[in-house]
Structure 1
Amino acid sequence: MTSKLEQELEEMLPFWNKLQNEQKAMLSQRAIDKNYLTGTILHAGSEDCVGLFLIRSGRIRAYIVTEEGKEITLFRLVEKELCIFSASCMMRNISFDIWISAETDVETILIPSSLYSQISEKNIAVANFTNEVVSSRMSDVMWVLEEMLVKSFDKRLAHFLIIQSDLEKTDTLKITHEQIANHLGSAREVVTRMMKYFSEEGFIVLKRGSVKIIDKQGLKKLI
């Protein structure tokens, strides 16, 4: 009889039906439930290699930390997505440290790095899927870095607010200026000045600990 965990793995791993029965059994037996509260660090740089996270619910955030201690969000992952950068020991060519934290309360399935690597080495479907995921995430990273180099801060902030609204499915965002600064690799004071400008222009309404978007089209025109 198929277990609930095995059903979830089949649903969330595109290569499941191309695995050998022995490989399916190993994944089902060694994958474990791991739940985290908002703000918990799941993965702390290249020296950490906890494994691969399959997200059951919630949202996680991958980011880098600059030499000045500023955080820059690279990408966010949501339900039914796979976080592969938490298994950094599998990717020797990644030359920068990626940190991963729970942006909301999250429920995950953790696949040990050694097990995934073992299966990937023997199964071309798993290896191809892994390469596709890494390529996609690296494209996200390059896009973020390009945005920082090319776009002015007002455009980046407007884009962030729109994306955050889409993620939260609401125009009222419970987020502080400090948190926004961490996402965008900026200083809180810079965010505060630009948010005040957005407020004066009628794009948003500022409240303590939250932002309400009242003119999303106006923000989109800034991008």
Structure 2
Amino acid sequence: MNLDFKQNFEHLFEEDLLNEIEQFGIFKEAEAGEELIDIGTYIEYMPLILHGAIKILREDEQGDELVLYFIEQGDTCAMTITCCLGKKKSEIRAIAETKAQLIMIPIEKVGSWMQKYHSWQSFVLQSYHERMKELLEAIDTIAFLNMDERILKYLKDKAIANKNETIQVTHNQIALDLHTSRVVVSRLLKALEIKGEIMLQRNQIQVLKL
């Protein structure tokens, strides 16, 4: 098991649970852009993130994607929790936003530890609560924000997830993630630059006001 594991989770879990995670968890490294979970597949493991960030997306009937939220170090994904416990197919796609290190928890342990360890139950419920808040924020963003505000929020969330105010992203990728057109994205990015919110570079954007 990765040496950083206990440093990341010893404040959350008791020693017996930490030992079980070391015993049954599977360490995994993912490159940026690597798909970890696909829509329509059965989830066999729940990820705990040691380092890096994961992007969670939904897909419509036409195959267009929309970014819901990012999960970072010390987090897990509520959508995988519900699929794990209900033994249902995944309704989300998870892609490594950055190079990431994870511990994959077998689904049979996800449920049994809920009854065995209070700290695990609290962690799962708190994680679920946090992800639901982010889902509501995503809904509010779509429903109530103008597209320029949506783009700025997306860039700020991405910068925070990457822990870098300068992010590697193309106009086309932003358009795909926000389910809009590249022409609209390019026009609004230029307007945001004029307002002093961002600085545009080739395939890079610097967020000036995090």
Check whether TM > 0.5.
yes
Give the structure 2 partner of residue 12 of structure 1: 9
Do the aligned residues in 2 keep the contact of 1:50 with 1:86 (CA within 8 Å)?
no
Do the aligned residues in 1 keep the contact of 2:77 with 2:128 (CA within 8 Å)?
no
1:79 aligns with 2:73: yes
Matches within 5 A, 1:196-215: 196-201=190-195, 203-213=197-207
Deviates more, 1:107-116 or 1:185-194: 185-194
Aligned residues: 210
Matches within 5 A, 1:104-183: 104-183=98-177
Counterpart Cα distance in 2 of 1:211 and 1:10: 33
Counterpart Cα distance in 2 of 1:128 and 1:61: 24
Secondary structure of the equivalent of 2:190?
helix
Quote the RMSD (CA, aligned, Å).
3.0
Evaluate the alpha carbon distance shift between residue 208 and residue 29 of structure 1 in structure 2; reply closer, same or farther with a 3 A threshold: same
Secondary structure of the equivalent of 1:104?
coil
Counterpart residue identity of residue 167, structure 2: L
Counterpart Cα distance in 1 of 2:141 and 2:129: 18
1:84-139 CA-partner distances (Å, limit 9, x unpaired): 53344334499981111101111111111111212213334422331221122011
Give the structure 2 partner of residue 63 of structure 1: 57
Taking structure 1 as the reference length, the TM-score comes to: 0.78
Do the aligned residues in 1 keep the contact of 2:52 with 2:99 (CA within 8 Å)?
yes
Counterpart residue identity of residue 175, structure 1: V
Secondary structure of the equivalent of 2:189?
helix
Select the residue among 189, 196, 200 that pairs with 2:183. Answer: 189
Secondary structure of the equivalent of 1:34?
strand
Counterpart Cα distance in 2 of 1:203 and 1:7: 36
Structure 1: 5+ residue stretches without partners: none
Do the aligned residues in 2 keep the contact of 1:36 with 1:106 (CA within 8 Å)?
yes
Same amino acid, percent of matched pairs: 22
Give the structure 2 partner of residue 48 of structure 1: 42
Taking structure 2 as the reference length, the TM-score comes to: 0.82
Structure 2: 5+ residue stretches without partners: none
